[in-house]
Amino acid sequence: MGYKDKIIKKFVDFEGERISRKVIIALQKRTDSLEVGNYYCFTPRSESGLKNIWDEICVQQIEAEFSAYWSYFVLEVENLIEPEVEKLPEHIQQAIWLQIEESWDYEEGEEMEIATYQLVDYIAEEYVFEKARRWSNKQINHFIHGEEGSLFYS
């Protein structure tokens, strides 16, 4: 990676970290139910012991076992990221775009065809879900490792 790429990556990391912190805080505050039609994807204070939507996302990422409603959790994350991406200056959006596979064929001087969803997907996967795979707290540990005799003992 050349020095220009390293500088660009620093800007991307700064914004990716900033946005992911905002998203995580918002999801930690979501202790209400995540509803899809007449179904609940997540109901806090249930027998799972998980307290918020962020905990549920973490468990699914850590275990790599995704519920039938996983796409709704992803949509929730993307809906929080999108307005943050739209607020970014154009040069930062371009820097993020240069990190994604679709940009690899880009040659300097060509017009960049950037779609917001590409940037949102990149930040979701590289920053938010990456943090979820490494996140830990008492509720997550209890859910994953359980206690002998517990409903969720693994």
The residue extents of the domains of the chain are: 3-145
At residue 148 the predicted structure's pLDDT band, cuts being 50, 70 and 90, is: very low
**Rounded average pLDDT over 25-51:** 75
Contact between 92 and 15 (Cβ < 8 Å): yes
Alpha-carbon distance 97 to 75, whole Å?
20
pTM: 0.84
Q: Are 70 and 124 in contact (CB under 8 A)?
A: no
> What is the chain's mean pLDDT, rounded?
85
Q: Are 29 and 21 in contact (CB under 8 A)?
A: no
Residue 54, pLDDT score: 94
